[in-house]
Homo-oligomer: A and B are copies of this chain.
Amino acid sequence: MSELSESPSSAHLSERRVSGEKLFQGRFLEAWRDTVEMPDGCSATREYVVHPGAVVIVPLIETPEGLKLVLERQFRYPIGEAMIEFPAGKLDPGERIFDCGRRELLEETGYSAGEWARAGTMHPVISYSTEFIDIWFARGLTAGERALDEGEFLDVFLASPEELLALCRDGRVTDAKTMGCMLWLQNVLSGAWTLDWRSTERCDAEESKPPPRTGAHAAVRP
């Protein structure tokens, strides 16, 4: 049993790409099968979905009834249910992460934010997808018109942090990205974790490029 404090070298765990073939290219999903060399020198195959990455937004809004969160309810076909989740969406080709977050918040909820804070990132499915989800908080919201994609149907509603937490506890919220955001929100609200808030203009000026591709995504599409 190793200890956390030991050197985190991972040479004895790492896999090296030998070759790869595209398994299929759907309209939305793209999957690859790579042959890899394992730490013991043996070969194995790894199948995975290539994903451009995504952004999830935790939108905070001050109301006369206290702090509220902007949430969505959307039918999720693979699960077969209308699910409660924070606004989120995929990066368009060549899009910067901040632009994606700003665009998705506006398109799906109609809100624009005056200030943003990047909390961190999440990998929803590390065994079979390259997807990352960047986590951003937004505040200073101004309501406007939403502009859903064609064929996108979703409800927007407000809930307090306490209400959303209770939904997580009771199993009515099971979306992993929303639960990951709640871990962030709970620690931010308690003061245990801090956020670095910046104006929309400063976020826009500071981020210069789309994110670099990493992991298997970089290997199949350098």
Interface residues, chain A, with chain B CB atoms under 8 Å away: 1-4, 6, 8, 10, 12-15, 23-24, 26-29, 31, 33-34, 36, 38-40, 42, 44-49, 71, 73-83, 85, 120-133, 151, 153-159, 163, 165, 168-169, 171, 174-177, 179-180, 182-183, 186-187, 193, 214-219
Apart from A2-B155, A8-B73, A29-B47, list 19 A-B contacts with CB within 8 A. A2-B157, A13-B153, A24-B24, A26-B31, A26-B33, A28-B128, A46-B77, A49-B49, A77-B216, A79-B130, A79-B216, A83-B123, A121-B171, A121-B174, A122-B175, A125-B131, A176-B177, A179-B179, A183-B186
Given A8-B82, A46-B77, A77-B34, A168 and B153 touching (CB < 8 A)?
no
Q: List 13 A-B contacts (CB under 8 A).
A: A3-B157, A3-B158, A10-B75, A24-B24, A26-B33, A27-B45, A40-B153, A46-B78, A48-B77, A49-B49, A80-B218, A80-B219, A120-B171
CB closest chain-B residue, reference A169: B193
Given A3-B157, A156-B2, A26 and B23 touching (CB < 8 A)?
yes
A125 touches B124 (CB 8 A): yes
Interface on chain A toward B: helix, strand, loop, or mixed SS? mixed
B126 touches A78 (CB 8 A): yes
Cβ contact of A180, chosen from B23, B126, B179, B214, cutoff 8 A: B179
